[in-house]
A and B are shown apart, each in its own frame.
Chain A
Amino acid sequence: MTRRATAGLLAVFAFALAGCAPVSGTTIPQVSADVPAPAGAAEVTSPPPAPVQSCPNLLASRRPPSPMPAPGQMPAGSTMAKIVQYGKLRVGVDQNTYNVGFRDPLNGRIQGFDIDMAHAIAKALFGDPDKIELHAITSAQRIPMLQSGEIDIVVRTMSITCDRLQQVDFSAVYYDAKQRILVKTNSAIQGAADLGGKRVCATNGSTSLSRIAALAAKPVAIGVPDWTDCLVMLQQGQVDAVSTDDVILAGMAAQDPYTRVVGDPLADEPYGIAIPQHKEDFVRFVNGVLAEIEADGTWTAAYQRWLGSLLPGAAPAPPAPQYRD
């Protein structure tokens, strides 16, 4: 207390010596909010090369073997035999696309239409649909992880394109998707022509993103790592629309009743199962499995379970396979 009193006296003394310092008023700065965005979300400044429009036999894959080998009895030395020897099928999947490939928060498991396809292949290989390792990957990781051999196949809303065929092989088409546009229900956007100057979201490395960037109306393309990041940005008003395959959009619309799908399809997105190159025997085997599940009703059951409630109309017929021997 005495020390403080002395300090006070000395301070008064010092003030008298220095003269009174000018008192400046505090102004409250005007600030605007920094809105958080998903990690890795960025405007596409240099658009990815537009997809090659046509190439011969785009959708024609390899004809299935006849007869199909029985589960657990794969031909010696085949790719399938190696997978059976490893003990599990390693599949690259999505964990963020509702009802196609998503992790159900209620039970923590990845499930959906794509995942049913993967289980069908595991069942044909092992006789047990659960001999499977699901690796959740981003769109951009699909081709690199196949090429590095970390996974055997990718079943992840992956469209067959001429560009991708130069890097990986594809099965026959297992689902015919169409690229469309998702907006909030109060949006004025009616179709692709209204997207001029609007911010439109798609995942990095997807065909949708290239196509948005190449649209004549010149929207601003926003790339994100995962599809649901687009829904987050749409709900937060950071993008005006999401444009991608109808199944993915339907999954988003199912999570947010204040969104709707608008406009005519922008493009066909034929989904195939991607397999590393130079594994022709495995491509044939996978096509055999697809032909089987399309014939025995497994495909239709999976459609009805996962997509029937999201997409209008009755379950379509499975896509007709095209083969080039």
Chain B
Amino acid sequence: MTATTAERRVREFTTLARTTPGILGGFAVALVAVALLAGAFSGLSVQSRAQALDDLATRSGPLSVAAQEIYRSLSDADATATGALLSGGLEPAETRKRYEDDIAQATTALAIAVAAEEPADITPGSALATLSQQLPQYAGVVETARANNRQGLPVGGSYQGEATHLLRATLLPAAQELYRAEAGRVDTDQDRAGAFPVVELLLGLLVLGALVAAQVVLRRRTNRVFNLGLLAATAAGLVWLVWTLTAGFVVMADVGDSRTQGSAQVDVLAQARISTLAARADETLTLVNPGNGKSYQDDYVTVSRKLGTLLATAGSLATSQDVQAKIDAAKADSTAWANAHDALRKADDGGDHGKAVALALGDAGATFDRVDADLQGAIEQTRQAFSANVSAAEGALAGTVVGVSVLAVLVAVGSVAGIWRRLKEYR
């Protein structure tokens, strides 16, 4: 009994579906479904692109800066503390201030990097855990070194040596690891944000295709050429397709620029700056720890050669006159520094430690500071280019999700209204 009723209902439905009103009703339902679903998924795709851009602007971008800042300020803190040891028990006030500022800078950047992570991700042994645990240890050993040094006790030099070892063997590698991870995230976010808008293109075409098909069928069945509702829906569909595609292409271009004008250059410049800091640390350590002077000098040679290569690469990547000028200045200053370093080594190898120390704290220190300032300026400018491109991309996407939602509703409403007019004629 029930089976027969069901069969009859199916038969009635199939008969109805074969009639024109049935077909038109089906089209109305299908068009609404396609418009709303396509609108939802298109919106999601645009939203994930916007999310990636937001990450670039507020997360991976700033965090890679924070990671680099940790490396830089720690490295500079140690070179400064070691240099203070060279200058004798009465360390100059500005040296002390520089060290303290470096530590403050490093801990602030570390706090920012830590705050951006989930608590569960800070596992023992991870870069952030290592930095958080060992930075206070480092500062403690440096203060012990200072206290002893102030009393004229040579054990102060050994404490500083222990602190430097902790920094070079543990803290700097962790900071480097952190920077690599954050730079990797910038890259991933750029890939996500700058992908070809394939979802938007396919969904837009699907909506338009469905609307065209509906109009073709409607024309055949009712012999009416134009249907105002469906025409309006088609227009809305076209606007939708053009809008999402244009936004997608603009974002692709902007993200590409954020790479070439920004992050790719920042990466090379950051490495150059790290090499500069490492070379300066080596230079100071050859004087503090002459027993291992040779290994530090060998490392200095390796690192400064790397610095030359990186500056050349940075020069070839530079896209703005200002950055190019800064890199040229860095090249010139690093040559001056290399000359000061040679003079310093010559004095020290000749047994004139006093002159070598004077050079390290004078000429060599001053030229190092200039190279560092040049690179910092170049990094600053490329970072600005990066941020400008990312916010331009964000601007291109502004309102797209809302627009797509409204257009999807318009398509749905237009389709229903258009088809409803025809259906009414069958009453």
Contacts and interface: CB of A to CB of B under 8 A. Distances in A.
B252 interface: no
Nearest to A96: B154
A158 to B, nearest CB: 15
B158 A38 contact: yes
B351 A3 contact: no
Given A31-B133, A136-B290, A231 B158 contact: yes
B291 A106 contact: no
A225 interface: yes
Contact of B155 (A133, A136, A228): A228
A175 interface: no
Contacts of A138: 291-292
Contacts of B260: none
Contacts of B124: 29, 31
A275 interface: no
Interface string B44-68: 1001001100000000000000000
Contacts of A33: 133, 137
Interface in B386-409: 397-399, 401-402, 405
Contacts of B40: 10, 13
Contact of A105 (B44, B149, B170): B149
Nearest to B164: A39
Given A26-B120, A38-B162, A38-B165, A3 B155 contact: no
B154 A39 contact: no
Nearest to B153: A255
A96 B164 CA distance: 17
Interface string B88-105: 110000000000000000
Contacts of B44: 10, 14
Most buried by B among A90, A97, A232, A256: A232
B243 to A, nearest CB: 14
B43 interface: yes
Contacts of B166: 36
Contacts of B154: 95-98, 102-105, 228, 255
Given A2-B402, A6-B47, A255-B153, A132 B161 contact: no
Interface residues of A, number: 51
A6 to B, nearest CB: 5
B43 A6 contact: yes
Contact of A36 (B86, B157, B162, B402): B162
Interface string B158-191: 1101111110011000000000000000000000
Given A105-B149, A229-B158, A255-B148, A137 B402 contact: no
Nearest to B85: A105
B357 interface: yes
Contact of B401 (A3, A31, A104, A134): A3
A202 B405 CA distance: 76
A137 B157 CA distance: 14
B395 to A, nearest CB: 12
Nearest to A14: B44
A25 B427 CA distance: 63
A293 B351 CA distance: 25
B162 A37 contact: yes
Nearest to B398: A3
B134 interface: yes
A108 B162 contact: no
A50 interface: no
A134 B86 CA distance: 16
Contact of B157 (A2, A14, A105): A105
B353 interface: yes
Interface string A24-55: 10100101011111110000000000000000
B51 A105 contact: no
Given A3-B399, A38-B162, A108 B88 contact: yes
A133 B158 contact: no
Contacts of B156: 105
B251 to A, nearest CB: 14
Nearest to B400: A3
B152 interface: yes
B123 interface: yes
A284 interface: no
A141 interface: yes
A184 to B, nearest CB: 14
B149 to A, nearest CB: 5
B292 A225 contact: yes
A255 B405 contact: no
B26 interface: no
Contact of B402 (A6, A29, A98): A6
A109 interface: yes
Given A7-B51, A228-B158, A108 B290 contact: no
List the 10 shortest-distance A-B pairs measured between CB atoms, nearest first: A133-B351, A39-B165, A138-B291, A136-B290, A228-B158, A36-B166, A26-B119, A102-B154, A255-B153, A6-B401
9 contacts: A3-B397, A6-B402, A95-B291, A96-B157, A105-B88, A110-B353, A228-B158, A232-B162, A256-B155
Given A97-B154, A136-B290, 11 more contacts: A2-B399, A3-B398, A7-B47, A13-B40, A29-B124, A39-B165, A95-B157, A105-B154, A105-B157, A134-B353, A137-B290
